A and B are shown apart, each in its own frame.
Chain A
Amino acid sequence: MRPWNELTDQVQVVTFDIFDTLLHRKIRAPVDLFELVRLKAFETDFALLHHDFLDGYAGYRRAAEQDARKAQLLHSEEGEICLDEIFEQLRNDHALPDPLVDYLKATELELEDTVLFASPDGMRRYDVARGKGLQIGFISDMYLPGDWLSQKLERVGFQGAAQYPLYVSGEHRVTKRSGALYRKVGAEQGWALNDTWLHVGDNRMADVERGEALGLRTTYADWADVDNRPLPDETAFGVNAITAITGFIDKRPSIVFQPDGMLERIGYRVFGPLMFGFTLWLLHQSQQQDLKKLLFIARDGKLPMRLFNRLKARAGLADIETEYFYMSRKVGYLTGMREWDSEQTRRITIGRGAKSARRSFGAVGLNAEEYREELDRFGVEDIDTPIAPAEAWRVMKAIDTAFADVLRNNAETRAALQPYYLQAMEGADRIGFVDIGWVGNIQRLFANSLPDANARDRLVGLYLGQLPSSSFNEARGIRMHSFLTQGAYKKPVQKALHQGGIELLEFAMTADHGTTIDLSRDEAGHIAPVLETPSAEETDYARKAVRVQDGMEYFLDEHAYLLEHFRLETLATPHWALPLLKLVDDPTPEQIGALAGLTHSDALGSNAERLPLVSPLSGWKRYSPSHRRKARRSSYWKSAFDQLLRRP
């Protein structure tokens, strides 16, 4: 600020460029505004009558502006135009009816007003100039109405802006670019074109070079970051509009919204858009499926519940009841097993790491000591020695032979603990069952823990993502919907989930308490969850997750304004997952540095046995193909492993 102070000591007049100097847009590029207008237009009946036109609207709007400028060149030297002329051109180019043209113009102004915010750098400079009592003016090469801009500056916090002269090229038909607008301003305001006039702007040619050529002092607004190239034709409806919003995160002006700290920033930039989209989708599903209650399942459901409650009133769905329900697969396998299927047993025994027979038997409530004979028949001699995944079938077969005991135990435990599940079903006929997802086992086990076999039909699983193996539960009548694995996103998302996405998401959504390992019933009959006491490593993991979640909440708060302009069904799109897909496929070195050292546990009902997201490889082992293969195989986050290996 010192140079600015010094500069303003020597001048009498300060003029400011407006866009990207005093005001920024919360979108990737100015032309992206037309993508937002297009998205909104598809919420109206205009889309029924003018579908094809609106489909190509962003391009048509850009072309209309160019055509209007060309047409204006016939009447004025510089071809400067105003907003009305652009829309007149659009009307003529496409033979549009007045109501549609009026709607598009009004929507553009409405959204422009929404996305514009004051630049802190510009504001500081404006305040200093104003504080010194300097003469102030605004000069912009722009087609928007001057009055509207003047009022907008006032509204976003430039106090007194409306009383200062404001010149826009569209109204005066001359530009800064040619220098004519400076001359016009100088003549009308009585400001001499010399170094007592300081102009600030972000366009090197129009604001700096042209101003200096006329004898003005100039300052380049280096806090802007604009590249006004349009996005390519979109591959799926709405992707460009969402990219317009998420793309802004990579622009310098967005830094004012982002929290401090690398983990918080990752939360804001990557998981924030995803969880914002997921929350909108949950709201939309609740509305569409008339769900009056949502059960958020521990532990991954804690954050979604917090975000849901934060937005539900703004979405007009304040009446939806939410409940946090402590459950885990481990608890579910004690009450929810009522059939015997090989796939179910496989899921109990598999895992990336080696698991002892004692642990696998314990997962279904059996003491492996009592099944030594069965284990011996399948070649398992020591029940405490971890068994490699390749040999896990032996334990699986041994558990199979104990199927009758498991089912009997489950029936007895279920009878005792049923009230715990029944209370969660109170309050609504149809209930949303919200969890991170993948295969829907917990939903099936929950449904099977209820006395009524038809209770499963009252539950609607609402998941972040689903894997192909969820077909096992779907075949059993479990209803599931997923946010990410729908439409064109299904395959790329499922691929990303297997390349480290699952572990990254489970980290980002983890709650700050241990996993549910049991249910206890006291003498009064009250049933309560028993939580695992987290290890030091797990506590550190959860602490980091909370930091990431802080960033997500920042993002949610910053973008909740979209609910005032768009319908839920428009916004509830998986396009919000694009930053996550990029993190999984092509992480930045900073992201790798912050996340690669995390550990993950896939052991049933325990978070103590943890494996790193990226297996470390150092020294000569980095050059050994066999070590590289092995380390890559055991790394959850493959692209991060590859990038780390490429580094010198």
Chain B
Amino acid sequence: MPDFSTETIGIVLPRVATPALFRRALQSIRAQSVGDWRLVITQSPEANENMRRVAEVVLSEPDPRIAFLPDMDVETESEAINRALDSLDTELAIIHSECDSWSPDFLAVMTRIYDTKRALLPGLKGIVSGVAAVEETVSGAHITIDSVTDWHPPGSVDDLHDGVLDIRRIVVGNPFPAIAFLFDRREAREIGFYDTTLPLLAEWEFHQRFCLRNDVWVHAERLAFHHVATDRTDPLDQAAYGALLTNRWVRREGEAGLGTLRILQALSALPRTSAPPKPPRKDDKETPKPPTNPRTPAKKQKGKIGTALSKLNRARKRWI
């Protein structure tokens, strides 16, 4: 079991499946401008051929901050995360999936803001950053970034804004991906980490329980990058399975009665999309929306002759 100091940040990298993504995830973590972190990878380098290859190449020089947990024969991702979180002894922890990445300043900014805000609000037990969504195509060891857009919580066109996270947002959809959420590990342990009984939406459910019990600060800078493959759909589609978690919460109230009725009434009164209009994006110059096919070449500027012909043509049409 790794022996980590409580002063450091614990990072859990739960599953390694694609060497190119794993390499990038390691780069993302090792490029952090603060070095005071510990990374736990829930697979040993010997677990499979991919892991072994990457570990050899990427971790050719041993890094004492990185530790591998022994393999378990049958383990879900939630179980792996819980095991890794449990193995840490750090105050803060975060889940960094192999798909995602951070800005080099993610940990530096988030820990500094967290410390400052916690001095004001001792009840704070976590901090979330703004997120950019990265669509990409992975071909073997090659990653092509297709687009980068502002990430919005599912079911909402509204962004997260600086300040304490509004607890109502966790009901509508998972308000942030795990890559953006730095949390108090002891508080996570108090609520039992991830729910391993859930076949789906364990991350959202963990965020729900955590936020119901603790306040979380939102830092709106988009320092975290949630990568999504463009060649597949998300099997954990929140729109399709979103009601699963709501139903569980209602049932936890026990037999249907007045309490349950009140909860249902409150839930039905929640706005579907809490969306005050976005501030004006620009003041002077409009950026036209891209057409559906971005490969269409940019319209070429007309030369003098072309312009003259166009004018002549317009004049001809008017004459006719």
- Tell yes or no: B122 within 8 A of A by CB: no
Instruction: Evaluate contact between A397 and B147: CB separation under 8 angstroms.
Output: yes
Least CB separation from B146: chain A residue: A401
B215 at interface (Cβ–Cβ under 8 A)?
no
Shortest distance in angstroms between B139's beta carbon and chain A's nearest beta carbon?
Answer: 13
With A338-B105, A411-B33, A453-B108 already in contact, the answer to whether A400 and B147 are too (CB < 8 A) is: yes
Contact assessment for B221 and A401 in the assembled complex, using a CB-CB cutoff below 8 Å: no
Knowing A415-B33, A453-B112, A469-B282 are in contact, say whether A377-B295 is a contact too (CB < 8 A): yes
Contact B294 A394 (CB under 8 A): yes
Choose among B103, B221, B284 the residue that contacts A476 (Cβ–Cβ < 8 A): B221
| A340 touching B148, Cβ below 8 Å | yes
- Could you tell me if B162 and A498 are in contact, using CB atoms closer than 8 angstroms? no
* A475 contacts chain B at the CB level, 8 A cutoff: yes
- A interface residues, tally (CB under 8 Å): 55
CA distance A403 to B223 in the complex (A): 11
Stretch at the interface among A120-128, A159-167, A289-297, A346-354: A346-354
**A93 → B minimal CB distance (Å):** 51
Which one of A48-56, A83-91, A384-392, A607-615 is at the B interface?
Answer: A384-392
- Inter-chain CA distance A397–B298, complex, in Å, is 13
Judge if A393 is at the interface, Cβ distance under 8 Å: yes
Q: How far is B116's CA from A96's CA once the two chains are assembled, in angstroms?
A: 55
Q: Does A343 contact B (CB under 8 A)?
A: yes
Closest A residue by C-beta to B24: A404
- Alpha-carbon distance A28/B215, docked complex (angstroms): 60
A453 partner residues in chain B, CB cutoff 8 A: 105, 108-109, 112-113
CB contact list, A402-450 vs B, under 8 A: 402-404, 407-408, 410-411, 415, 439, 448
- Residues from chain A with a CB closer than 8 A to the CB of B220 are 475-477
Task: Give the contacting residue for B285; candidates A350, A377, A407; CB below 8 A.
Answer: A350
Instruction: Mark interface residues in B79-121 (1 if CB within 8 Å of A CB, else 0).
Output: 0000000000000000000000101110011001100100000
Q: Would B295 and A378 count as touching, CB distance under 8 A?
A: yes
Question: Which one of A340, A352, A386, A452 has the greatest number of beta carbons of chain B within 10 Å?
Answer: A340
Q: SS class of chain A's interface: helix, strand, loop or mixed?
A: helix
Q: Known contacts being A389-B285, A407-B103, A475-B220, is A397 close to B294, with CB within 8 Å?
A: yes
Interface of B is mostly: loop
Q: Is B60 an interface residue (CB 8 A)?
A: no
Q: Indicate if the CB atoms of B225 and A340 lie closer than 8 Å.
A: yes
Q: Counting CB contacts under 8 A, is B62 at the interface?
A: no
Contacting residues, chain B, for A389 (C-beta < 8 A) = 285, 287
Does A471 belong to the interface (CB within 8 Å)?
yes
A391→B162 CA distance, assembly (Å): 33
* Nearest-neighbor residue (CB-CB) of B129 within chain A: A339
Which of B31, B109, B279, B285 meets A472, CB within 8 Å?
A: B279
29 contacts between A and B (CB under 8 A): A339-B130, A339-B223, A341-B132, A341-B222, A342-B150, A343-B150, A349-B287, A350-B285, A352-B285, A379-B298, A380-B297, A388-B299, A390-B288, A394-B294, A394-B298, A397-B294, A400-B147, A400-B149, A403-B148, A411-B33, A411-B104, A439-B283, A452-B112, A453-B108, A467-B283, A471-B279, A472-B279, A476-B162, A477-B162
> A397-B147, A439-B283, A453-B109 known; 5 other A-B pairs, CB under 8 Å?
A350-B287, A390-B288, A393-B290, A408-B104, A415-B33
Would you list the 6 A-B pairs with minimal beta carbon distance, nearest first? A411-B104, A471-B279, A400-B148, A401-B145, A453-B112, A453-B109
